[in-house]
């Protein structure tokens, strides 16, 4: 412990003997450091929070790109070069008639010092950091908030003007496209009408192309086949039930005409009514009713020749009527099947005989369908663009609101001059002490007899104490005062710089 204490005393003595060197080095380091700090301009930060809300008045399908796409576009264009150039011009950073190089430098400086941080989906925090060396602290502080004010104003104007301009340009473009499609659609319609007029016998009437009509007829034919099979099965069942049912009930006297004759009279009356409505003999209902009348005539003849051995069986009469109805259904389905098969054969024969005409007609119909779909789609898009333009013009589709206006900085954000001034002072003192101690290690001397004895390996008999005369003691006191004055002046300069710094901040506030 004593050895450590002795070493400390020796080091302190070696530094004290070079106290003037310590003071000189400290002054040099402090002057250079404080000058370097003074050359760094103060940086002032201003912050603002901006709400950009997309007004969802239109339904999702009517919003072009959706609100999310507009928010992403806002994030990308808020600090665009075009906006930065306008901000530089309005805040005075870019004087009138500036060169392209000066413009590029101003834009790059603003883009570097303006940060946009999204806090939520539609809330942004914008920060501007200004440190222009040619401006005073008050001007830098004012410029920091002025840049944000100008940026928000430019952004708001661009959004409003850009939305209206995009809507007008979109309507103009869509109008031109609609006119082209309408012209092409009319040309196709004229070609199709002329083609049908030239080939009126080869192009069957009805909606759709020949292939489409054949396909529709085949689909209906398939349904009729299944219905005909079911109707024939029902007719066979009715015939079987009728064959097993007696026509009369033996031993019971009958009164009046037979049932078949009564049904025959009713069917003939119904046939007369159909003909009075204008139905021809080729009509399916007339054909079915004539078949039913023929069957009833046969039954009436059997009733007339059979004598009066019994009364007409009501069950037999009911089954006969049911069978006649099912026969009419089978006849109608068979007639419709024949008509469809005739249509299919006729259209197929026309296609075989004139394959080019059918193919050309199909091509014209396909072209017409494609142009019609494009035309309808463009009309729907135009209506959406018109509605979007009206919303942006009348209801502010994009609402921009300042949640927190740009702050007015009163103190520089950087550099921290009081801390830097203190660190430079401590570095100066430490540097002076370090230089003095290092020099003492290079120029070896022995401050105590024990150090000399250890270094030489020889015994030291004794040491001579320094004798200080009154004149020398007075001289030392004078130099000590000078040393204290030099050190005090250094500390005083440090305090003066601190006071100047706080006064300068107060002037900005």
Write down the pLDDT at residue 352: 66
pLDDT exceeds 70 at position 1 = no
For the segment 55-60, the average pLDDT, to the nearest whole number, is: 42
Write down the pLDDT at residue 58: 39
Percentage, residues of the chain above pLDDT 70: 75
Residue 29, C-beta contacts closer than 8 angstroms, at least 6 positions apart = 424, 427, 428, 431, 432
Q: Which of 104-113, 191-200, 445-454 has the highest mean pLDDT?
A: 104-113
Q: What is the DSSP secondary-structure string of 153-214?
A: HHHHHHHHHHHHHHHHHHHHHHHHHHHHHHHHHHHHHHHHHHHHHHTTTTS-SSSS-HHHHH
pLDDT in tens, 160-179: 665 555 566 667 777 888 88
Length of the chain measured in residues: 509
**In the chain, count of helices (H) and strands (E)?**
14, 6
309 or 266: whose pLDDT is higher? 266
Rounded to an integer, what distance in angstroms lies between the CA atom of residue 288 and that of residue 282? 10
For the segment 408-434, the average pLDDT, to the nearest whole number, is: 90
pLDDT exceeds 70 at position 306 = no
Write down the pLDDT at residue 428: 94
Q: 255 falls in which pLDDT band (50, 70, 90)? A: very low
Rounded to an integer, what distance in angstroms lies between the CA atom of residue 344 and that of residue 217? 7
365 or 352: whose pLDDT is higher? 365
pLDDT in tens, 261-274: 767 777 777 777 67
Rounded to an integer, what distance in angstroms lies between the CA atom of residue 498 and that of residue 487? 17
Burial of 420 (0-12, 13-18, 19+ CB in 10 A): middle
Neighbours of 408 (CB within 10 A): 13
Domain ranges of the chain: 2-40+415-508, 44-174+392-404, 210-353
C-alpha angle 299/332/334, rounded to 5°?
105
Superfamily of domain 44-174+392-404: EIF_2_alpha (3.30.70.1130)
Write down the pLDDT at residue 26: 94
Q: What strands lie across the sheet with 44-54, from one edge to the other? A: 114-118, 123-130, 44-54, 398-404
Rounded to an integer, what distance in angstroms lies between the CA atom of residue 203 and that of residue 354? 10
pLDDT exceeds 80 at position 462 = no
pLDDT in tens, 31-55: 999 999 988 888 888 999 888 765 5
Q: 437 falls in which pLDDT band (50, 70, 90)? A: confident
Strand locations in 266-327 (E): 310-312
> Which two tokens mark 449?
């007899």
pLDDT exceeds 60 at position 201 = no
Percentage, residues of the chain above pLDDT 90: 11
Orientation of helix 210-243 relative to helix 314-353, angle to 10°: 160
Q: Which of 277-286, 315-324, 374-383 has the highest mean pLDDT?
A: 374-383
* Structure-token match 């994030």, residue found: 75
Pair 444, 10: CB distance under 8 Å: no
Helix (H) / strand (E) element for 116: namely: strand 114-118
Write down the pLDDT at residue 297: 82
Write down the pLDDT at residue 495: 94
Instruction: Write down the pTM of the prediction.
Output: 0.48
The shares of helix, strand and coil residues in the chain, as percent rounded to the nearest 5, are 70, 10, 20
> Which two tokens mark 387?
């509605």
Write down the pLDDT at residue 491: 94
pLDDT exceeds 80 at position 479 = yes
Write down the pLDDT at residue 250: 56
pLDDT in tens, 115-174: 888 877 678 888 988 888 778 878 888 888 888 898 888 887 776 665 555 566 667 777
30 or 300: whose pLDDT is higher? 30
Rounded to an integer, what distance in angstroms lies between the CA atom of residue 243 and that of residue 215? 42
431 or 214: whose pLDDT is higher? 431
Asked which of 79-83, 315-319, 389-393, 483-487 is least confident by mean pLDDT, the reply is 389-393
Closest CA to 243 of 305, 319, 295: 319
pLDDT exceeds 50 at position 199 = yes
Pair 174, 378: CB distance under 8 Å: yes
**Mean pLDDT, all residues of the chain:** 77
CA distances from 408 to 52, 203, 315, 414 (A): 22, 83, 108, 15
pLDDT exceeds 80 at position 432 = yes
Pair 455, 54: CB distance under 8 Å: no
Write down the pLDDT at residue 494: 94
91 or 457: whose pLDDT is higher? 91
Pair 375, 141: CB distance under 8 Å: no
β-bridge mates for residue 295, sequence order: none
Rounded to an integer, what distance in angstroms lies between the CA atom of residue 505 and that of residue 44? 11
Asked which of 32-36, 208-212, 239-243, 338-342 is least confident by mean pLDDT, the reply is 208-212
Residue 354, C-beta contacts closer than 8 angstroms, at least 6 positions apart = 199, 202
Rounded to an integer, what distance in angstroms lies between the CA atom of residue 436 and that of residue 439? 5
Write down the pLDDT at residue 253: 44
């Amino acid at each position: 412990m004593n050895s450590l204490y002795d070493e400390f005393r020796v080091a302190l003595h070696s530094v004290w003997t070079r106290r003037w060197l310590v003071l000189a080095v400290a002054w040099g380091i402090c002057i250079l450091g404080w000058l370097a700090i003074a050359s760094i301009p103060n940086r002032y930060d201003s912050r603002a929070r901006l709400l950009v809300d997309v007004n969802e008045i239109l339904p999702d399908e009517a919003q072009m790109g959706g609100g999310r796409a507009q928010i992403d576009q806002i994030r990308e264009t808020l600090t665009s070069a075009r906006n930065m150039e306008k901000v530089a011009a309005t805040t005075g950073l870019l004087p009138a008639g500036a060169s392209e190089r000066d413009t590029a430098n101003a834009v790059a400086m603003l883009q570097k010092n303006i940060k946009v941080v999204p806090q939520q989906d539609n809330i942004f925090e914008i920060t501007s950091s200004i440190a222009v060396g040619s401006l005073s602290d008050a001007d830098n502080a004012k410029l920091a908030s002025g840049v944000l004010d100008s940026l928000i104003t430019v952004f708001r104007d661009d959004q409003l003007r850009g939305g209206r301009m995009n809507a007008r340009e979109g309507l103009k473009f869509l109008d031109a496209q609609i006119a082209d499609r309408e012209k092409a659609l009319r040309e196709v319609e004229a070609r199709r009408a002329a083609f049908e007029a030239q080939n009126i016998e080869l192009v069957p009437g009805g909606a759709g192309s020949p292939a489409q009509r054949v396909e529709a007829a085949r689909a209906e034919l398939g349904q009729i086949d299944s219905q005909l099979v079911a109707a024939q099965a029902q007719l066979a069942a009715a015939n079987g039930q009728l064959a097993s049912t007696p026509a009369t009930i033996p031993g019971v006297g009958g009164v009046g005409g037979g049932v078949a004759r009564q049904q025959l009279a009713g069917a003939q009356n119904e046939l007369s009514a159909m003909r009075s409505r204008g139905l021809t003999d080729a009509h399916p209902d007339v054909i079915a009713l004539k078949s039913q009348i023929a069957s009833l005539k046969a039954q009436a003849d059997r009733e007339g020749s059979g004598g009066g051995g019994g009364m007409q069986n009501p069950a037999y009469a009911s089954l006969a009527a049911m069978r006649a109805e099912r026969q009419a259904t089978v006849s109608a389905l068979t007639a419709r099947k024949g008509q469809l098969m005739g249509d299919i054969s006729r259209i197929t024969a026309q296609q075989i005989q004139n394959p080019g005409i059918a193919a050309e007609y199909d091509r014209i119909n396909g072209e017409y369908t494609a142009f019609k779909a494009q035309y309808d789609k463009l009309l729907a898009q135009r209506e959406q663009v018109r509605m979007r333009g009206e919303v942006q013009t009348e209801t502010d589709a994009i609402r921009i609101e300042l949640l927190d206006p740009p702050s007015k900085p009163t103190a520089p954000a950087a550099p921290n001059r009081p801390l830097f001034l203190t660190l430079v002072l401590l570095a100066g003192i430490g540097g002076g002490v370090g230089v003095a101690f290092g020099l003492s290690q290079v120029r070896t001397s022995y401050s105590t007899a024990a150090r000399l004895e250890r270094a030489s390996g020889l015994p030291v008999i004794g040491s001579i104490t320094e004798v200080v005369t009154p004149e020398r003691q007075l001289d030392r006191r004078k130099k000590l005062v000078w040393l204290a004055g030099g050190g005090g002046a250094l500390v005083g300069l440090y305090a003066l710089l601190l006071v100047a710094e706080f006064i300068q901040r107060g002037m900005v506030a």
